[in-house]
Amino acid sequence: MYLTGNGEWKSYMEHPGAMPIYTAREKMKQMSTEEAGQYMKNKKNQLRLIFWELTEGCNLKCVHCRATAQPQRNPDELSTEEAFRMIDEIAGFANPIIILTGGEPLYRPDIFEIAGYATSKGLRIALASNGTLINEEMAKKIKKAGVQRVSISLDGARQETHDQFRGIHGAFQTALNGARHLVNQGVPIQFNTTITTHNVQEIEQVMQLALDEKATALHLFMLVPVGCGAQLSATQMIPAAEYERVLNWFYDQSLKVPLELKATCAPHYFRIMRQRAKAEGIQVTSKTHGMAAMTKGCLAGTGVCFLSHKGIVQPCGYLPVEAGNIRRQTIQEIWEGSEIFSQLRDTANLKGKCGICEYRNVCEGCRARAYGMTGDLLAEEPFCIYQPKQAVSD
């Protein structure tokens, strides 16, 4: 069921485009600011999203890959039985959205067993794919397994840009074909685009492509210097001032484009959103800015965690610090007891300018970029140009 703009509950069968993943957003649009604030307070430090790297095996060789993907699956990856146990554990203490990722998650032959089992346990499943393995038959299986959205990585609006990044000629067209098969089956799609010097000039065209291809959402990612991205960052990371320009552009689009737009792993977008709204005399509420008004920039360890193909739990996939291992502890024990998560849950621990910034509770800076550049996950975000005006008191 989902809540309509008229306050009526309707079945998804009546409106397949409205997905359970986004019921929170719909609900919150109906709430007063106070109700929405209380709703989010109740959700504080609840596990809301798990990025589950089912395999590091992949058919592509993307230059910015977080996972440093391999052509072969690792023999030590979690077995089907371990995956089922994991799903039981998750369903026993939380109700997060699980994003099955990789590598390429469709590389695992038991992907639909795992997705179907999680769906049968009432968990909401999304899939992060490069799209190239999705033909009509695969799209039907994805639909049948109850997957509620598939995100497809698109690193440019043109074949040359995307293929060069993906390391395989023809990857752009096969990814688009995959997206079309999904749309034909009624599976909502999202495009994920990592912004680099290589494609920053094509962002407007990427947005138009997302509209043309009937995508439900476009998520823009800022490069994080981890995995293959570490070597790439020296030449491909756009300067902080350029990020500021892109995120301001993104804010303008978010107010007018009929597409769910999200700046991901660009936590200072949440500072920019508030600065812009203030300058324009608009109050940031769930009614004016939707879910973005009620969430914050970096959720690593506070609402989000990452589970590796070997069972290692991290705050996020780009932050390679081990909070625990599900082969030794339950996911609940790790989520509730990890020292790393507890450090991330108190913004008073932040250092440098993030530590004194008045926006730190809505932004927090990217802990992975801080870690990647300094080795300290609590250091200041290196790609934010903002100079805090005042020290915050707790």
Contact 261, 254 (CB under 8 A): yes
Q: Assess 163 for contact with ligand SF4 (CB under 6 A).
A: no
128 belongs to the binding site for ligand SF4 (CB under 6 A): no
> Where would I find the H helices in 30-158?
33-42, 80-93, 111-120, 136-144
Nearer to ligand SF4, 138 or 292 (CB): 292
For 306, the token pair is 């990452």
19 binds ligand SF4 (CB under 6 A): no
Joined together, the tokens standing for residue 86 give: 């994991």
Segment 332 to 361, residues that bind ligand SF4, using CB under 6 A: 353-354, 357, 359-360
- Which position among 228, 367, 378, 379 is part of the footprint of ligand SF4 (CB under 6 A)? 367
Helix or strand holding residue 336 (H, E): helix 331-337
Give the one residue of 73, 198, 219, 268 binding ligand SF4; rule: CB under 6 A.
Answer: 268
- Residue 139 or 377 with smaller CB distance to ligand SF4: 377
Stretch that binds ligand SF4, among 2-10, 67-75, 255-263, 380-388 (CB under 6 A): 380-388
**Beta bridge pairs of residue 218:** 191, 261
| Structure token digits, residue 321 | 């610090």
Question: Shortest approach of ligand SF4 to residue 227 CB, angstroms?
Answer: 12
Could you say which residues in the range 276-335 bind ligand SF4, by CB under 6 A?
Answer: 298-300, 304, 316, 318-319
Burial of residue 372 (number of CB atoms within 10 Å: 0-12, 13-18, 19+): buried
229 binds ligand SF4 (CB under 6 A): no
Closest to ligand SF4 by CB, 24 vs 263, is 263
Q: Residue 171 interacts with ligand SF4 (CB under 6 A)?
A: no
Mutual angle of helices 136-144 and 171-184, in 10-degree steps: 50
Contact status: 384 vs ligand SF4 (CB under 6 A): yes
Q: At closest approach, how far in Å is the CB of 391 from ligand SF4? A: 12
Q: Considering beta carbons, is residue 60 or 299 the nearer one to ligand SF4? A: 299
Contact in structure between 362 and 270 (CB atoms under 8 Å): yes
Using DSSP, state whether 219 is helix, strand or coil: strand
Q: By C-beta, is 118 or 223 nearer to ligand SF4?
A: 223
Q: What single-letter DSSP state applies at residue 49?
A: E
Does residue number 29 form part of the binding site for ligand SF4 (CB under 6 A)? no
Of 116 and 388, which CB lies nearer to ligand SF4 in the complex structure? 388
Per CB under 6 A, 273 contacts ligand SF4: no
Helix (H, G, I), strand (E, B), or coil: what is residue 112?
A: helix
Closest CA to 272 of 248, 306, 237: 248
- CA atoms within 13 A of residue 246's CA, in its CB half-sphere: 31
Question: For residue 151, which phi and psi values (nearest 5 degrees)?
Answer: -95, 135
Contact residues: ligand SF4, CB under 6 A: 224, 265, 267-268, 271, 298-300, 304, 316, 318-319, 353-354, 357, 359-360, 363, 365-368, 380-381, 384, 386, 388
